[in-house]
Amino acid sequence: MAYVIVGASASGINAARTLRENDKNIEIILVSKDEYVYSRCILHHFLDGRREIEALDFTPKNFFDMYNIKWIKGVEVIGIDIKEKKLKLSNNEDLSYDKVLLAAGSSSFLPPIENLRTANNVIGLRNLDDAIKIKEEAQKVKNVAILGAGLVGVDALAGLLDYDVNITLIEMGDRILPLQLDNYAAEVYQERLKEEGVNFKFGVRAEKVVVDDNNNPVSIKLNTGEEVPCELIIACTGVRSNIGFLKDSGIECDKFGLIINAKGETNAKDVYGAGDITGRNPIWPTAVKEGLIAASNMIGKDVYMEDFFGSKNTMNFCGVATMSLGLVNKPDDSYKEEKQVKGKDYKKIIHKDGIIYGAIVQGDLSYVGVLTQLIKENIDIRKVKKPLFDIDYSDFFNEKENLEFVY
């Protein structure tokens, strides 16, 4: 049996390992457009020089030999025939499969801003090629504009702090990391970054990229009429699932991406999906879990993706560590917020009817493990008669006679 995996990132690599750990005899082939295995979560460490390309690899040394996996690298899957069970490759070859996992990820999305899609030196930060190009160009210019203040935008910003460039971050919202942080936690980072010389433009919209006669950026014109000087633009304005190769294949997709069920199955027999190609929850932990589950079901197990608690983000910028879990602001007044500020440490918990739905911990992260468990297990915090920020594991477990701990 030939098991083929498309994509060499979080879902694909973990799926390949799971397949081999469960069956020593099957043929496993991994096809990837990338020529390196790397974590996109630490591409900013490549930008700032902390890591070289090899140090971005999240697999053990000699991973493909160790797990007896054939890796076809630098080759893109450009089509699939589900009746013949064949993949069409960019090197003009066909690859047959018995079962296939589609984990082709996603790509940067450029919004329809005038000249943005046609100007030179407009780069996303989604893959290693992007990071290499940004690193090269940032050494040639004086002004860099970053569109979007989500995790990717702030990663790009952090990676460029030591470059001799003026950095301006342009964001339609009122703060950085609006999905991960509330105003207080975001302001801590913003103040640190301002001290590093970063310029912020919040509550504005980019309307046009002004270019010179060679189609190189000169500035970005905002809806306020202001022009932000820039010779390099890093567009961190969202992603789109890589589903172009599925056109006319009969495999169902929607506006988000590839459609899969809780077992990672698509509508096509023996075709599975995992990770950012689905467009549902494009973060690393979810991609890993979906890859593990899809691989388990490919080899005949019956495993379901029941835990979608994926909105967990860890970050460390300017020496300040933060983790956010679930909701970062209460959706309505039926929820309650508890906050604690002690020196440079900040805690916030959002709860309703005894259940914690979200939290932010900044500074000292020692309480994060407890919070993660409380949210994941939907534990009723009303059972604990002590201050919310003093809860620990001992409040939720009792010891049986056999020394087994139970909730």
CATH code at 357?
3.30.390.30
Is residue 313 included in any domain, yes or no? no
Question: Which tokens in the block code for residue 76?
Answer: 């893109």
User: What would the pLDDT profile of 102-112 be if each residue is shown by its tens digit?
Assistant: 999 999 999 99
Same-domain status, 12 and 91: yes
Is residue 303 included in any domain, yes or no? no
The pLDDT of residue 395 is 65
Owning domain of residue 16: 2-107+241-298
Is residue 333 included in any domain, yes or no? yes
Number of domains in the chain: 3
Same-domain status, 35 and 103: yes
Is residue 312 included in any domain, yes or no? no
Is residue 293 included in any domain, yes or no? yes
Is residue 115 included in any domain, yes or no? no
Same-domain status, 195 and 46: no
What is the distance between the alpha carbons of residues 330 and 335, in angstroms, rounded to a whole number? 6
What is the distance between the alpha carbons of residues 131 and 151, in angstroms, rounded to a whole number? 15
Q: Report DSSP letters for 216-257, one per residue.
A: -EEEEEETTS-EEE-SEEEE-S-EEE--GGGTTSS--B-SSS
**CA separation, residue 48 to residues 147, 160, 319 (Å):** 19, 6, 14
The pLDDT of residue 273 is 98
Same-domain status, 287 and 349: no
The pLDDT of residue 244 is 97
H-only helix segments in 116-201:
128-138, 151-159, 183-195
Helix pair 10-22, 284-298: axis angle to 10 deg: 30
pTM of the model as a whole: 0.90
Burial class (CB within 10 angstroms; exposed 0-12, middle 13-18, buried 19+) of 206: buried
- Give the pLDDT means over successive 10-residue stretches in the chain (407 positions): 96 98 97 96 95 96 97 98 98 98 96 97 96 97 97 95 97 95 97 97 98 98 98 96 97 97 97 94 85 97 75 86 91 95 95 91 89 75 80 62 42
Same-domain status, 171 and 261: no
Is residue 310 included in any domain, yes or no? no
Is residue 112 included in any domain, yes or no? no
CATH code at 190?
3.50.50.60
